[in-house]
Amino acid sequence: MELTDSNLQTLTDYLQKTLSPDPSVRRPAEKFLESVEGMFNYPLLLLTLLEKSPDKVIRVCAAITFKNYIKRNWRCNEDEVNKICDSDRTMIKANIVNLMLHSPEQIQKQLSDAISTVGREDFPHKWPNLLADMVSRFQSGDFHIINGVLHTAHSLFKRYRHEFKSNELWSEIKLVLGVFATPLTELFKVTIGLCNEHATDANALKVLFSSLILISKVFYSLNFQDLPEFFEDNMESWMANFHTLLTFDNKLLHTDDESEAGPLELLKSQICDNVALYAQKYDEEFRPFLPQFVTAVWHLLVSAGSALKYDLLVSNAMQFLASVSERQHYKQLFEERSTLTSICEKVILPNMECRTVDEEAFEDNAEEYIRRDIEGSDVDTRRRAACDLVRSLCRFFEGPVTEIFSVYVASMLAEYAKEPARAWKHKDTAIFLVTSLASKAQTHKHGITQANELVNLTDFFIANILPDLRSPNVNQFPVLKADAIKYVMIFRSQVGLLNRNLVSLSIISIVFVNVERAGGRHDMSDLEKHLSESLFLSFIHNLIKCSLLSLCRSVINEYKKQIFILLFQRLQSSKTTKFIKSFLVFINLFCVKYGAIALQELIDSIQPSLFGMVLEKVLVPEVQKVSGTVERKICAVGMTRILTECPAMMNCGDNKLWSSVLQALVSLFELPEDDSAPCDEHFIEVEESPGYQAAFSQLAFAGRPQHDPVGPNIANAKLHLAHSLRTLSTACPGRVQLMISSDLSPEVTQYLHGYLQAASVTLV
């Protein structure tokens, strides 16, 4: 493709069409862009548009398209076609850094991510001048440019946090440190100095603090694998400045938003992460600096408000204290009874209490709240950090800490007993405290394997947990019901009871979430006795995930309409890519198991003609997004049954829907997965996502063969389509052949004839 005005206009037109809500306009445009990805100069055209197009929307769209193009195609495996020619690769690396640094922020972030993708593959050997080019921009004095460099560096280096150690990795980090460490340190000092100079300029402070946040993130990445000699030699300078920033305050950086962390909170949160890293991994070198950080973090925790915007900061600060308190040589910092009492009363208890925002989170999405709690994936919450701090303190001070908290547990339970409706949160906190105190060692399979002997788990269970489990009103105090079930699950080696609360609206997902990870399958015959309509109304997709294959057909028949109504409600209210993919696999699996007629009649019973709308508006435009070999096979077989076994598809006056489904099915066979996402889903980073940690995670399902519910009877879905079309054409002589020849594109028709020929099938 030549760099001409005509080609630029053509590309602009197609980019504009990809923004259309109409799938009949959007999908052909997306297919066109896919078809020209391998052409010479295609990336140059995109870069030209994102730099010079007068339409800001087109510029952003071109930037996102370019980033996704790089992510899909830059890595070139030996057995794959290289879609980016060498000259285009050279051109991209020669221009992208400068273009990124001088672009608006929206475009800058997309190009920065693209640079990170290229860097992961080509740096350092195929892109040796990348770092020098980036570092030279620190001298510009323009913090828009500087922040662009820092964001790129953060994206490029953050993989060091989770890469396995190797000589190649050490060599790369050593090279990076040689070029980047000194300029980064100087920039850190200069930026702090500028913060003091511009202490009365709110806009300048916000820009400077965004730089300090990125510098602190890069520091964390560069120090994660091992303590570099450079940072060891300059530790005093870095730690002195970190301490200054941790105790820094300026009203101009305070934000009115109570839910969103501002630059001050984000920077202090990252500094807590940085010093926690040093306390955990480099405690001998860090020891001289630790007491001042313990004091600073202590004051930070005591002064931080209860607003949501402080949650990450408070959580990271408590994690720092936890990492310090569980080390033998820091024991003296906590052994005074007054110190322990102060930590328990002023830090742990306030942050373990159920706040209004927690209650609202439970009401808005009880399933997610419970799942994160029981899995321990709520690592960014105050309560989880407070629990971790309790366990860390108990390593050396189990007796005093248990004694201190026992008084509070008794007091809170007494308050609950007086007036349960008013004081149920006190009991919730008491259960959290007891759980934290008692848990010394835990596994997913067996729950708590080692418990605090000073806590009588059985007595507490009988007095405080069992009454909630036996309560005839299973939906009263749902948070306490959730606490009770969780208590039973994690202490199941000590206590074992799951009863009628399986029908509780707010706790049923605990039983089903990660059943295998929690220690085996439940007896479905027993569970079926307790299933109620409320179960399906609240947590249906957990049932789909772990058991709509193991539940008997009679149970599904009883609730299937409610299930589909719920799914359609979710589809209408929150149409995320992840949900759509799961939804399509589910309806096709239903079709495979129960037949196309059953699927069509069920959906149309909810709303007349809804089945056709689902096919047209969801299945046809979105099925290409389904990922996974088994999942795509399920969709292929399900769509084949819809095409060939559903009379409604053939009896409608307009056969375009039939042809559209067939065309989408052939595309599912022949085209790669569509990994594009709406604009608002492009900016999610794993590192920033709740619950993600760079630490070790158990591969709970590693090594297990993936179950294929379609079964061995259909080994080849393409041949299955061919044979099914023959059966249909026999029942409807002439019609199938006519629809294929008149309504399908030539490319699809050619593929289809290939399937028929391979299956030795001739249509009537």
> In which band, very low, low, confident or very high, does the pLDDT at 550 lie, cut at 50, 70 and 90?
very low
> What does the pLDDT read at residue 10?
95
Give the per-residue pLDDT at 654.
Answer: 53
Contact status, residue 466 vs residue 497, Cβ threshold 8 Å: yes
Residues 146, 183: contact at Cβ < 8 Å?
no
Last-in-domain residue among 520, 544, 568: 544
539 plus 660 within the same structural domain = no
Lowest mean pLDDT among 35-44, 551-560, 711-720: 551-560
Residue 484 has what pLDDT? Answer: 86
Question: Which one is predicted more confidently, 762 or 349?
Answer: 349
535 and 566 both lie in a single domain: no
- Residue 505 belongs to some domain of the structure: yes
Q: How many domains does the structure of the chain reveal?
A: 2
pLDDT at 753 over 60: yes
Q: Which of 119-123, 271-275, 571-575, 639-643 has the weakest average pLDDT?
A: 571-575
Listed in sequence order, the residues at least 6 apart from 575 whose beta carbon sits closer than 8 Å to its beta carbon are: none
Can you tell me the distance from the alpha carbon of 721 to that of 713, in angstroms, rounded to the nearest whole number? 13
When pLDDT is averaged across residues 238-249 and rounded to a whole number, the result is: 97
54 belongs to a structural domain: no
Say yes or no: 505 and 601 in one domain: no
Look at strands 447-451 and 439-443 and give their pairing.
antiparallel
Q: What pLDDT sits at residue 618?
A: 93
Pick the range with the lowest mean pLDDT from 360-369, 463-472, 691-700.
691-700
Could you tell me if residue 596 is inside a domain? yes
Task: Report whether pLDDT(547) > 50.
Answer: no
User: What share of the chain in percent tops pLDDT 70?
Assistant: 83
The whole-chain average pLDDT of the chain stands at 83
Q: How confident is the model at residue 706 (pLDDT cuts 50, 70, 90)?
A: low
Task: Give yes or no: residues 633 and 559 share one domain.
Answer: yes
d(CA 183, CA 138): 8
pLDDT at 52 over 60: yes
**Is residue 77 included in any domain, yes or no?**
no
- In this structure, the answer to whether residues 552 and 605 fall within a common structural domain is yes
Compute CA 160 distance to the chain's CA centroid, rounded to the nearest angstrom.
20
Range of the domain at 443: 334-544
What per-residue confidence (pLDDT) applies to 320?
A: 95
Q: Where are the alpha helices (DSSP H) in 574-670?
A: 577-594, 596-606, 610-614, 620-622, 629-645, 647-651, 656-670
| Residues 348 and 456 grouped into a single domain | yes
* pTM of the model as a whole: 0.66
In a domain, 236, yes or no: no
Most confident of 207-216, 303-312, 673-682: 207-216
Residue 220 has a pLDDT of 97
pLDDT for the residue numbered 745: 80
In a domain, 269, yes or no: no
Closest CA relative to residue 226, chosen from 172, 289, 298: 172
Q: How far apart are CA 735 and CA 369, in angstroms?
A: 53
* Model confidence band, residue 553 (pLDDT cutoffs 50, 70, 90): low
Residue of 742 and 482 predicted with greater confidence: 482
Residue 646 and residue 572 share a domain: yes
Q: How confident is the model at residue 678 (pLDDT cuts 50, 70, 90)?
A: low
Domain boundary, last residue among 544, 575, 593:
544
Examine the domain organization and report whether 724 and 579 are in the same domain.
yes
Tens digits of residue pLDDT in 522-535: 333 333 333 333 33
414 and 536 both lie in a single domain:
yes
493 and 379 share one domain:
yes
Judging by beta carbons within 10 Å of its beta carbon (0-12, 13-18, 19+), is residue 332 exposed, middle or buried?
exposed
Q: Are residues 516 and 601 in the same domain?
A: no
Give a yes or no: residue 161 inside a domain: no
Considering the domain boundaries, does residue 99 fall inside one?
A: no
Among the three residues 544, 560, 595, which one is the final residue of a domain in this structure? 544
Per-residue pLDDT reduced to its tens digit, 276-314 = 999 999 999 999 999 999 999 999 999 998 898 999 999
pLDDT tens for each residue of 483-506: 888 888 777 655 544 333 433 434
